[in-house]
Structure 1
Amino acid sequence: MHRAYKFRLYPNKEQTTLINKTIGCTRFVFNHFLVKRKDAYEQEKKTLGYHDCSA
């Protein structure tokens, strides 16, 4: 039998700001490496994997 739990968070103003900053930074890093991967594929027909990007 599988069970599911639902949780609702009620962050205060300070926590909301921190969550939004974290999500914004994550979005920036994702988009940065997405552009690098697209450029590498268009120029060299080579895909960049996780290890290439994390190095």
Structure 2
Amino acid sequence: GITFDTGGVNLKTQGGIEEMKYDMCGGANVIGTFVAAVKAKLPLNLVVVVPAVENA
């Protein structure tokens, strides 16, 4: 999902930094589930909306 890049400025507490790796888990799970359903050719009509960008 979308996360905010502060450009090196630390806006999180120590506890927040330790869990930072989970910031994009929700979006990744939705995309992964969608891809799995497509590959399995499940007879579902899914609408998936995930705000995602390339981190360049």
TM-score by length of 1: 0.42
Q: Work out which of the two has the higher radius of gyration on C-alpha atoms and give 1 or 2.
A: 1
TM-score by length of 2: 0.41
Structure showing greater relative contact order (alpha-carbon pairs closer than 8 Å, 6 or more residues apart): 2
Higher helix share: 1
